[in-house]
Amino acid sequence: MLDLSGREELDWLAQLMADVRTAEPAMDPLIVGALARDLLLHYGHGFKIERATADVDFALAVADWDDYSATRDALLASGLFRPFRNAAHKLQHAKFGWVDLIPYGALERGDGTIAWPPAGDEVMAVIGYAEAASAAIAVALPRDQRARVVSLPMLAVLKVLAWKDRHRFTQGKDAVDLQLLLRRYLEAGNVDRLYAEFPHVIRTS
C-alpha cells in the first residue's frame, strides 16, 4: 500500500474517485498513464513532475461492449460527468477535467486491440492492461478513498507498447516517459531490492 492519504493536493483525485464510486459502485478502475507516473514518482517519492498531465486515464475490465456502455451510461446519468465532444472514450467531469475510459478484457481481439463500435474503424491497442491490473499497487488517498495504480515496471511495459503503436504522431512523449521511468526506478524505493535480490547483477570481477 502506498499511503498518500496525507497529501492534500490530491484531494481532487480523492473526490473524483468518490464521484466515480457514487455513480457506479461496482466500478474499480485502474489508473494508468501520466497520472500513474506522477502518483508513484512525484507524490510517492518526491521526484519533480517533468511533464504535466491534464487528464485521468482509467482502464476498465469489462465483459463486452454492452458492459462498457452500461458503465459509461451510469457515469453520465449521475450528472457528475458529461460527454467530451465526439470522443467515445472521454468524459468531462464537472470540476476535474476529462477522464479517459479505456476498456480491456473479454472484448479484446486476438492481437490485443479493441475496435470501437459501431463501425469498428477506431482501433486502440490495450495489450498488457490485464497484466498491469494483476500487479496493481493499492494507493490510499485523502477522504478515506483508495485507488489502484499501475506499477512502475508495468507502466514501463505499457509505455513500450504505446510507443510502438503511436510513435509516429505523439512527438516522442512515450519515449520521454520511458526514459524517466528507467532513470528513476532504483531511486523509487528499489536500491535495497537490487542489493538484496539481485547481487549478481552488480557483482564485479
Q: What is the pLDDT of residue 67?
A: 95
Q: Which tens digit of pLDDT belongs to each residue from 124-173?
A: 889 999 999 999 999 999 999 999 999 998 988 888 887 766 655 555 67
Q: Is 33 exposed, middle or buried (0-12, 13-18, 19+ CB in 10 A)?
A: buried
pTM for this structure? 0.85
pLDDT tens by residue, 93-118: 989 889 999 999 999 999 999 999 88
Distances (CA, A) of 115 to 2, 18, 67: 34, 30, 15
| Strand stretches in 122-176, DSSP E | 123-125, 137-141, 145-149
Sheet of 30-32: strand order equals 2-3, 137-141, 145-149, 30-32, 55-62, 97-105, 87-93, 81-84
Query: What single-letter amino acid sits at 102?
Result: I
Measured over the CA atoms of residue 31, residue 33, residue 38 and residue 44, the dihedral's sign is: positive
What pLDDT was estimated at residue 20? 95
Strand partners, 59: 30, 102
Domains and CATH numbers, the chain: 2-151 (3.30.460)
Given its phi and psi angles, is residue 19 left (phi above 0), alpha (psi -120 to 50 degrees) or beta?
Answer: alpha
Identify which has the larger pLDDT, 37 or 86.
37
Residue 19 near residue 79 (C-beta atoms within 8 A): no
Element of type H or E holding 2: strand 2-3
Q: How many CA atoms lie within 13 A of 133 on its CB side?
A: 17
Q: Model confidence over 6-62: pLDDT tens digits?
A: 999 999 999 999 999 999 999 999 999 889 999 999 999 888 876 667 689 999 999
Q: ∠ CA 79-82-83 to the nearest 5 degrees?
A: 155
